[in-house]
Homo-oligomer: A and B are copies of this chain.
Amino acid sequence: MQSVDSPANPVSTVDTAFEILELIHANEGATLLSLADDLDLAKSTIHRHLQTLLHRQYIVRDGDQYYLSLRFLEFGRQAQTRKKGYPMVEEKVKELAEETGERVQFIVEEHGQAVYVYRETGSHAVQTDPGIGKRIPIHTTSAGKAILAHLEEDYVEQIFDHYGLAALTDFTETDEDALFEEFERIRDRGYSINEQENVEGLHALGTTVHDEHGDVLGAISISGPSHRMKGKLFEEELPNLLLGTANEVELNIVHS
């Protein structure tokens, strides 16, 4: 994770601006006054910031509410399609969702967290969608574990040190040594398994996608309700489909 540590002297004004944006995001809209209250800054200060952001078109105003603008979508889309492999993954994610009928996702590691980059929910998929772009603790997802298993150990330890190992359900693995052992099994097996470590009643399988240099791009996962995800399907058929898809993607990436 790049730059875990706070910079020696950050540009605090920029910090303030993003704190404003993050608050607007968290509350899905905010007023000048509520921002001044929450951030303990003078109204006039917030006002100046909002005017600046408004002028640069990063926020929009509707009456006395300020909202994030669609400008961010443009930035986000660039991040989402930055590496040439990403769009190729997207296609395959769709295909896999159609084939299996379950929810298929593509997750990328960024700043030590798992970020949802693509998702396709097959015909009978469940609805527990953390939105695209959302970030969650990386050790709690099948795709995240698959990624960790293929990153440098030093880096993984940095991540754990920085974020800790939170438990999202009773089944979340929070022991560091156990995780590192699991990573070994994941490398051997080729894919990772998640049984309710993230959401109760949800099972998932994940496997990494590598770029032409062998670096990890991210990981694809298939997830569905525990009662469906079991037996031969969960232990053989889906893993094979998943690994096959990852393989196809990697072939596409190399030959392009």
Contact = CB atoms under 8 A, between A and B. Distances in A.
Task: Classify chain A: how many residues form its interface, as a range.
Answer: 35 or more
Nearest to A75: B72
B11 A17 contact: yes
Interface string A14-53: 1101100100010011000000000000000000110111
Contacts of A81: 131
A21 to B, nearest CB: 7
A73 B107 CA distance: 13
- Chain A: interface secondary structure? mixed
A6 interface: yes
A52 B117 CA distance: 24
A234 interface: no
Interface of A: 2-3, 6-7, 9-11, 13-15, 17-18, 21, 25, 28-29, 48-49, 51-58, 60-61, 67-82, 108, 110-111, 115, 117, 131-135
17 contacts: A7-B51, A7-B52, A9-B48, A15-B56, A18-B58, A28-B78, A28-B82, A67-B79, A70-B117, A71-B76, A72-B78, A73-B79, A73-B80, A73-B115, A74-B76, A75-B75, A81-B131
